[in-house]
Amino acid sequence: MAMLRKNVKLDLHVVLPNHVHGLIVIEDNLDGLSSRGISTQKRHVSRTLQAGSLGAIIGQFKVAVTRRARLSQLYSDQRIWQRNYHEHVARDEESLNSIRRYVIENPARWAEDSLYVD
């Protein structure tokens, strides 16, 4: 992600057989101000996907993975991704650490997943 977007950093992540967990940090420095600063630009609110939004970042990631999987002949016309994704914004250190713990511990719960195959 960071190769395409300088303001996006990949934090802790884990890939499981049927899903992926990842924490990404989006630095709001596109307008020259830090994420703690106040933007003087008015942002246009739209019903369509906005460039730089979390949805656009996730969409671009899914497209890149799909292309690579098809080029390596791992998949042909099969659908790789579910339609949506789950998100949670970590607003403080405590929340961030709790989410990191969940991501780290998630692989140990794989056997409990409804799609688990031994």
Q: What are the pLDDT tens digits along the chain (118 aa)?
A: 546 678 888 899 999 888 899 999 888 755 544 444 333 344 444 557 788 888 888 988 888 888 888 888 777 677 778 888 889 889 999 999 999 999 999 999 988 988 787 7
pLDDT, residue 36, reads 40
pLDDT at 92: 93
**Residue 3 has what pLDDT?**
62
* Residue-by-residue DSSP string for 59-117: HHHHHHHHHHHHHTTS-SSS--S-S--------SHHHHHHHHHHHHHGGGGGGGSTT--
CA 107 to chain centre: 18
- φ, ψ of residue 60 to 5 degrees: the values are -65, -40
At residue 113, the pLDDT reads: 85
pTM: 0.68
How high is the pLDDT of residue 32? Answer: 45
φ, ψ of residue 8 to 5 degrees: the values are: -115, 130
